[in-house]
């Protein structure tokens, strides 16, 4: 019983950390309607950016702030140089562009800074938090708390005037232009904010597993989170993260010893496939019905 509880608690916290990577995906889609398959690589670049600043002697808190500013600028730059050129193109071409960007960044960052894992010490400590017979990973506990804070901040942001404009842009570009909203600026801001959220994911996951190219692999569980929770729902990011994290912890916790490991990715894949087949718009996603 205690083993099951430990798997559930640590899985839930891991899922919340997945939500940090998924949050940038939802922010971009919620404001621009673009599924950003480059979000995993953006998380990786954010982790490298903060590590590089810390390795250069910049104090960690300042490095995180500077990294967030740099990633906001990178988001604006990617939207301005790449995504804006795709206005009016079929959505599949935009998706392929973000996939190409993911592959490009995944190769460039390790190529310039080295593929070996870089240590990023946040001063959290390795000793677990012990509650009864449950051992809770301290890094996951901090990561879960940060994820909750970011999710709440994102929900509050979309209630502001700027957030309302971003939602309007996602609903209808033409109507947004008609009422004086700068669609290009709104989409650029969404990419910048997604870059900032990637810093939180990159730093926390980098402190757990090291900063290297494997941070980009967070795209896989992040996609599972947004598909399950709803690709345009911030609440869905929270709920989807919990479900993906718990299932990805409990099921491998019992099956890995029997089959020899590797069931976590199978569970994540099944979540994606079953959600698409049963409820393609996710738990909290908006169901759009179109005549074809």
* pLDDT for residue 7 is more than 80: yes
Mean pLDDT score, 239-261: 89
* pLDDT for residue 291 is more than 70: no
Q: How confident is the model at residue 287 (pLDDT cuts 50, 70, 90)?
A: low
pTM of the model: 0.89
CB 226 within 8 A of CB 280: no
What's the domain count of the chain? Answer: 1
Whether 257 is in a domain gets the answer yes
Whether 290 is in a domain gets the answer no
Whether 106 is in a domain gets the answer yes
DSSP string, 27-50: HHHHHH----TTHHHHHHHHHHHH
pLDDT at position 209 is 87
CB 30 within 8 A of CB 232: yes
Whether 165 is in a domain gets the answer yes
Mean pLDDT score, 212-223: 91
Whether 292 is in a domain gets the answer no
Find the radius of gyration of the CA atoms of the chain: 19
Task: State pLDDT tens for residues 21-61.
Answer: 898 888 888 777 788 899 999 999 999 999 999 999 999 99
Mean pLDDT score, 234-254: 92
Name the more confident of 14 and 158.
14
* pLDDT for residue 289 is more than 70: no
Q: Which CATH number does the domain housing residue 145 bear?
A: 1.10.3470
Residue-range definition of the domain harbouring residue 215: 2-278
Task: State pLDDT tens for residues 223-238.
Answer: 999 999 988 888 999 9
What is the spatial distance between Cα 223 and Cα 23, in angstroms, rounded to a whole number?
Answer: 10
Phi, psi angle pair for 130, to nearest 5°: -110, 120
CB 150 within 8 A of CB 196: no
pLDDT at position 284 is 86
Whether 99 is in a domain gets the answer yes
Mean pLDDT for the chain overall? 86
Least confident of 82-86, 116-120, 249-253: 82-86
Whether 139 is in a domain gets the answer yes
Q: How confident is the model at residue 261 (pLDDT cuts 50, 70, 90)?
A: confident
Q: What is the 3-state secondary structure (H, E, C) of 187-217?
A: HHHHHHHHHHHHHHHHHHHHHHHCECHHHHH
Whether 216 is in a domain gets the answer yes
Alpha-carbon separation of residue 107 from 48, 111, 113, 136, 280 (angstroms): 13, 6, 10, 34, 32
CB 209 within 8 A of CB 186: no
pLDDT at position 173 is 66
What is the spatial distance between Cα 238 and Cα 243, in angstroms, rounded to a whole number?
Answer: 9
Q: How confident is the model at residue 2 (pLDDT cuts 50, 70, 90)?
A: confident
């Amino acid at each position: 019983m205690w083993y099951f509880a430990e798997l559930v608690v640590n899985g839930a916290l891991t899922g919340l950390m997945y939500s940090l990577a998924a949050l940038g995906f939802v922010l971009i889609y919620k404001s621009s309607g673009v599924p950003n398959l480059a979000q995993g690589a953006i998380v990786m670049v954010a982790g490298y950016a903060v590590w590089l600043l810390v390795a250069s002697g910049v104090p960690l808190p300042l490095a995180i702030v500077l990294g967030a500013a740099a990633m906001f600028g990178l988001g604006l730059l990617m939207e301005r140089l790449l995504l804006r050129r795709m206005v009016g193109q079929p959505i599949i071409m935009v998706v392929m562009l973000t996939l190409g960007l993911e592959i490009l960044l995944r190769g460039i960052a390790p190529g310039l800074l080295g593929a070996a894992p870089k240590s990023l010490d946040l001063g959290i400590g390795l000793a677990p938090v012990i509650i009864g017979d449950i051992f809770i990973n301290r890094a996951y506990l901090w990561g879960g708390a940060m994820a909750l804070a970011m999710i709440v901040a994102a929900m509050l942001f979309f209630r502001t005037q700027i957030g309302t404009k971003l939602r309007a842009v996602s609903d209808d570009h033409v109507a947004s232009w008609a009422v004086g909203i700068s669609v290009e600026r709104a989409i650029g801001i969404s990419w910048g904010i997604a870059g900032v959220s990637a810093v939180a994911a990159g730093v926390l996951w980098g402190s757990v597993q090291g900063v290297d190219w494997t941070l980009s692999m967070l795209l896989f569980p992040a996609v599972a989170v947004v598909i399950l929770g709803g690709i345009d729902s911030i609440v869905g990011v929270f709920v989807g993260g919990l479900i993906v994290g718990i299932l990805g912890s409990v099921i491998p916790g019992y099956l890995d010893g029997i089959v020899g490991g590797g069931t976590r990715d199978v569970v994540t894949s099944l979540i994606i496939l079953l959600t698409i087949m049963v409820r393609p718009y996710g738990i909290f996603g908006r169901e759009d019905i179109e005549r074809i």
